[in-house]
C-alpha cells in the first residue's frame, strides 16, 4: 500500500488494482489499470459523478487521454518503440512504407504483403486534376503549411467516396489515399511557391525517390534521385512517423471523436503541428543556428536561453516526455553527417555551430538540471536544407511523415468501441452571474 499527502490533507492509497481518494474525509475508490509497459493509470472517469469535482491538469502532463497499442515512449530512458520495434532498428533496417504498414496493421509485413501495400500506395499518388486549380488560389508567397492545411482539408470535397468513417473499407481507402497523396500535395506546395510546374508522380520510383523527383526535377532536364539522399529522406520520414499522444495527434483524435471525416481530422493535425513549440521547431531551430552564426556567439545565446525575461529558447532542445536524449535525434545526427558527406558539405558551418552548441548546453548546469537534450528538430533543419529544401518546407516534411501516425491513431480511436466525443471541463474563475446593463446606463 502507498500513501501520498495532497494539499487539502486528503490522501491517496493505492494498491495493485485500485486507488482510494479521500476528499473531505470521505473515501472514493478508483480502479487502477496497468499497461504492458510504462506507467499505470487511475481511472477517474466517475470522479465528477461521485464527488462533483474535476481533476486539473493544464497541458496534460499527468493525463492519459486514451489506451493505445501503437507507440511507446520511455522519456527517462530515451526509448521509442513502434508496435514494440525500437526506432533506431526501424530507421536503420527498414523502409518508411514498412513502418507505415507496421503502424497501421500492427506487425511488420511479409514480402507479399509489403509488395501489395507498396503497389496500393503507388496507385493512389496522383491528385485529382481539379485540385491543381485549388493551388492557384493561393498567393505565390503563401507559407507551404498554409497551403497544406487548405489543400488537405479540401480533399474531402474531392474524395467524398471515402469519408464514411463507419465503413472499414472507406476508412482503409482514405488511409491509403492520405499516405499516398501527401508527398504529391507537399511537392506541389513547394513547386507552387517557387513558380515551377507541378511534376507528376512516377510509379517506377519508390516512395521517397518519387517525392524528391516531384520536388526537384524540372521538365527542362533529366533528374535522377541520388540513392544516398533518397535513403536519407526515407529514414527522416521514419523518424517522424508517430510519437504517441503529442499535441497534433491529440488534435486529430479529438477532431475524429466528433465523427469528422479523416481528411478534416488530418488537416486539423497539420494546423496544430505548424506551431514553433511543436513541428515548427525544425524551421525555428535552423533560423536560431543562422542567428547564432558562429561558435563564438554560443555563450551569449546559452545565457539568453536561461534568462526568464528573455523569450529566446534553444529551439530543438527540450521535450515534454524525453528527459534524456531523443533517440530520433541520434539517428538524425548520423543522417545529417551522411547527407553532408554525400554532398561534399562536410564543412557546413551551421553543423559546427550545432555540434558545439549541443556540447556546451549538455555541460551546462541549467540544461542538466532541467534535463534538456536535443530533440528530433535540432539536426533535422541542417539536413533538410542540405537536401535542397527551404526552411519553410521543413514542417511540411514533418506533416508528410506524421500523416501515417495520425491516421493509425485515428483508426485506433474510431475502432475503439468505448470511444466517445472528447469534451474536457475547466476550472472557472470568471465573473459570477450578473444582470445586463443597457448601454446608456454603463
Ligand atoms: C516536437 O510531444 C511530442 O512528442 C512532440 C514531438 C513529436 O514527435 O510529435 O516530439 C515533436 O514537438 C519536439 C519539440 C520541439 N520543440 C522545440 O524544440 C521548442 C523548444 N522546446 C521547448 O519549447 C520545450 O522544451 C517544449 C515545448 C518542447 C516542452 O515544453 P514543456 O514540456 O511544457 O516544458 P517547459 O516549457 O515547461 O520547460 C520546462 C523548463 C522551463 O523552465 P522553468 O519554467 O521550469 O524554470 O525547461 C525550460 C523552461 O523554461 N526549457 C527551456 C527549453 N525548453 C524548456 N529552456 C531553454 N531552452 C529550451 N529549449
Residue 16: pLDDT band by 50, 70, 90 thresholds?
Answer: low
pLDDT one-digit tens code per residue, 225-238? 999 999 999 999 99
Q: Rounded to the nearest whole angstrom, what is the distance from the C-alpha of residue 33 to the centroid of ligand 1?
A: 29
Contacts of 146 (CB under 8 A, 6+ apart): 138
The pLDDT score that the predictor gives to residue 186 is 98
User: Which of the listed residues 70, 80, 252, 319 should we mutate to test ligand 1's pocket, taking the one with most ligand atoms within 8 A of CB?
Assistant: 319
Element (H, E) at 264: helix 262-273
The pLDDT score that the predictor gives to residue 17 is 87
Determine if ligand 1 sits within 6 Å of the CB of residue 313: yes
Atom of ligand 1 nearest to the CA of 248: 9
pLDDT one-digit tens code per residue, 49-89? 999 999 999 999 999 999 999 999 999 999 999 999 999 99
Residue with cell 507537399: 186
Q: What is the DSSP letter of 197?
A: P
Helices 298-306 and 349-363 pack at an angle, to 10 degrees, of: 50
Q: Rounded to the nearest whole angstrom, what is the distance from the C-alpha of residue 374 to the centroid of ligand 1?
A: 10
Element (H, E) at 367: helix 365-369
In a 3-state reduction of DSSP, which class is residue 33? Answer: strand
The pLDDT score that the predictor gives to residue 422 is 95
Q: Which three cell numbers stand for residue 216?
A: 526537384
Atom of ligand 1 nearest to the CA of 305: 57
Determine if ligand 1 sits within 6 Å of the CB of residue 329: no
Whose C-alpha lies nearest to ligand 1, atom 18?
Answer: 316
Question: Average pLDDT for residues 198-212, to the nearest whole number?
Answer: 97
pLDDT above 60 for 5: no
**Which residues does residue 21 pair with via DSSP β-bridges, in sequence order?**
12, 28
Which of 344, 336, 350, 347 has its CA nearest to residue 384?
A: 336
Q: Rounded to the nearest whole angstrom, what is the distance from the C-alpha of residue 375 to the centroid of ligand 1?
A: 9
Contacts of 76 (CB under 8 A, 6+ apart): 323, 324
The pLDDT score that the predictor gives to residue 419 is 86
What's CA 15's distance to the chain center, in Å?
35
pLDDT one-digit tens code per residue, 103-126? 999 999 999 999 999 999 999 999
Rounded to the nearest 5 degrees, what angle is found at the Cα of 272, between the Cα atoms of 407 and 79? 65
Whose C-alpha lies nearest to ligand 1, atom 45?
Answer: 370
HSE of 71, CA atoms in CB hemisphere, 13 A: 26
Atom of ligand 1 nearest to the CA of 240: 8
Determine if ligand 1 sits within 6 Å of the CB of residue 232: no
In a 3-state reduction of DSSP, which class is residue 361? Answer: helix
**149-166: b or e for each residue (b if 16 or more CB lie within 10 Å)?**
bbbbbbbbebbeebbebe
Residue 4: pLDDT band by 50, 70, 90 thresholds?
Answer: very low
pLDDT above 80 for 282: yes
CA–CA gap between residue 66 and residue 345 (Å, rounded)? 45
Determine if ligand 1 sits within 6 Å of the CB of residue 328: no
Whose C-alpha lies nearest to ligand 1, atom 43?
Answer: 370
The pLDDT score that the predictor gives to residue 141 is 92
Question: Average pLDDT for residues 392-397, to the nearest whole number?
Answer: 96
pLDDT above 50 for 8: no
For residues 4 and 211, which has the higher predicted lDDT (pLDDT)? Answer: 211
Share of the chain above pLDDT 70, in %: 96
pLDDT one-digit tens code per residue, 347-363? 888 989 999 999 998 89
Torsion of CA 238, 240, 243, 245, to 10 degrees: -140
Question: Average pLDDT for residues 169-179, to the nearest whole number?
Answer: 94
Atom of ligand 1 nearest to the CA of 317: 60
Whose C-alpha lies nearest to ligand 1, atom 33?
Answer: 320
pLDDT above 70 for 2: no
Instruction: Write down the H helix ranges in 94-206.
Output: 96-105, 111-122, 131-135, 144-158, 168-193
Q: Rounded to the nearest whole angstrom, what is the distance from the C-alpha of residue 36 to the centroid of ligand 1?
A: 27
Whose C-alpha lies nearest to ligand 1, atom 47?
Answer: 370
Determine if ligand 1 sits within 6 Å of the CB of residue 316: yes
Atom of ligand 1 nearest to the CA of 376: 13
Determine if ligand 1 sits within 6 Å of the CB of residue 286: no
Determine if ligand 1 sits within 6 Å of the CB of residue 239: no
Q: Which three cell numbers stand for residue 237?
A: 520520414
Determine if ligand 1 sits within 6 Å of the CB of residue 135: no
pLDDT one-digit tens code per residue, 306-328? 999 999 999 999 999 899 889 99
Determine if ligand 1 sits within 6 Å of the CB of residue 82: no
Task: Provide the mean pLDDT of the chain.
Answer: 93
The pLDDT score that the predictor gives to residue 7 is 38
The pLDDT score that the predictor gives to residue 13 is 47
Contact 381, 340 (CB under 8 A): no
Q: Rounded to the nearest whole angstrom, what is the distance from the C-alpha of residue 288 to the centroid of ligand 1?
A: 15
In a 3-state reduction of DSSP, which class is residue 15? Answer: coil
Phi first, then psi: what are they for 33, rounded to 5°?
-110, 135
Which of 296, 317, 318 has its CA nearest to residue 379?
A: 317
CA–CA gap between residue 313 and residue 315 (Å, rounded)? 6
Determine if ligand 1 sits within 6 Å of the CB of residue 405: no
Q: Rounded to the nearest whole angstrom, what is the distance from the C-alpha of residue 277 to the centroid of ligand 1?
A: 7
Contacts of 212 (CB under 8 A, 6+ apart): 225, 229, 230, 233, 387
Task: Provide the sign of the torsion angle of the four alpha carbons 107, 92, 270, 149, taken in this order.
Answer: negative
Which strand ranges, in their side-by-side order, compose the sheet holding 85-86? 71-74, 79-82, 85-86
Determine if ligand 1 sits within 6 Å of the CB of residue 186: no
Determine if ligand 1 sits within 6 Å of the CB of residue 375: yes
Q: What are the catalytic residues?
A: 319, 377
The pLDDT score that the predictor gives to residue 161 is 81
Contact 356, 299 (CB under 8 A): no
For residues 281 and 6, which has the higher predicted lDDT (pLDDT)? Answer: 281
Share of the chain above pLDDT 90, in %: 87
The pLDDT score that the predictor gives to residue 158 is 87
For residues 408 and 351, which has the higher predicted lDDT (pLDDT)? Answer: 408
Amino acid at each position: 500500500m502507498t500513501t501520498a499527502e495532497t494539499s487539502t490533507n486528503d490522501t491517496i492509497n493505492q494498491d495493485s488494482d485500485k486507488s482510494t481518494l479521500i476528499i473531505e474525509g470521505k473515501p472514493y475508490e478508483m480502479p487502477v489499470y496497468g499497461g504492458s509497459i510504462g506507467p499505470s493509470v487511475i481511472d477517474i472517469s466517475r470522479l465528477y459523478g461521485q464527488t462533483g469535482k474535476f481533476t486539473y491538469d493544464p497541458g496534460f502532463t499527468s493525463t492519459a487521454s486514451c489506451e493505445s497499442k501503437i507507440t511507446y515512449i520511455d522519456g527517462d530512458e530515451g526509448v521509442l518503440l513502434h508496435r514494440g520495434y525500437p526506432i533506431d532498428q526501424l530507421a536503420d533496417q527498414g523502409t518508411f512504407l514498412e513502418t507505415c504498414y507496421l503502424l497501421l496493421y500492427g506487425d511488420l509485413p511479409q514480402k507479399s504483403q509489403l509488395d501489395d501495400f507498396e503497389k496500393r500506395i503507388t496507385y493512389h499518388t496522383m491528385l485529382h486534376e481539379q485540385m491543381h486549380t485549388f493551388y492557384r488560389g493561393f498567393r505565390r508567397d503563401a507559407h507551404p503549411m498554409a497551403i497544406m492545411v487548405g489543400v488537405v482539408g479540401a480533399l474531402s470535397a474531392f474524395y467524398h467516396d471515402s469519408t464514411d468513417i463507419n465503413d472499414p473499407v472507406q476508412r482503409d481507402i482514405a488511409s491509403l489515399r492520405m499516405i499516398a497523396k501527401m508527398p504529391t500535395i507537399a511537392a506541389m506546395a513547394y513547386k507552387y511557391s517557387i513558380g515551377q510546374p507541378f511534376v507528376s508522380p512516377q510509379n517506377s520510383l519508390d516512395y521517397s525517390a518519387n517525392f524528391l523527383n516531384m520536388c526537384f526535377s524540372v521538365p527542362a532536364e533529366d533528374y535522377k534521385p541520388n540513392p544516398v539522399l533518397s535513403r536519407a529522406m526515407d529514414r527522416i520520414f521514419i523518424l517522424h512517423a508517430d510519437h504517441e499522444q503529442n499535441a497534433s495527434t491529440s488534435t486529430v483524435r479529438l477532431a475524429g471523436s466528433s465523427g469528422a471525416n479523416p481528411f478534416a481530422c488530418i488537416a486539423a493535425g497539420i494546423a496544430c503541428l505548424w506551431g514553433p513549440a511543436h513541428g515548427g521547431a525544425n524551421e525555428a531551430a535552423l533560423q536560431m543556428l543562422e542567428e547564432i552564426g558562429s561558435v563564438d556567439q554560443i555563450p551569449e545565446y546559452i545565457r539568453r536561453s536561461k534568462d526568464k525575461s528573455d523569450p529566446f529558447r534553444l529551439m530543438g532542445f527540450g521535450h515534454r516526455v524525453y528527459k534524456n536524449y531523443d533517440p530520433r535525434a541520434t539517428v538524425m545526427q548520423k543522417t545529417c553527417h551522411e547527407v553532408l558527406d554525400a554532398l561534399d558539405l562536410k564543412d557546413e558551418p551551421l553543423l559546427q555551430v550545432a555540434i558545439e552548441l549541443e556540447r556546451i548546453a549538455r555541460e551546462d548546469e541549467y540544461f542538466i538540471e532541467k534535463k534538456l537534450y536535443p530533440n528530433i528538430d535540432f539536426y533535422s533543419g541542417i539536413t533538410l536544407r542540405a537536401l535542397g529544401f527551404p526552411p519553410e518546407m521543413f514542417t511540411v516534411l514533418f506533416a508528410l511523415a506524421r500523416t501515417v501516425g495520425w491516421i493509425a491513431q485515428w483508426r485506433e480511436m474510431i475502432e475503439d468501441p468505448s470511444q466517445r466525443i472528447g469534451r474536457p471541463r475547466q476550472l472557472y474563475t470568471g465573473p459570477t452571474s450578473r444582470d445586463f446593463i443597457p448601454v446608456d446606463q454603463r
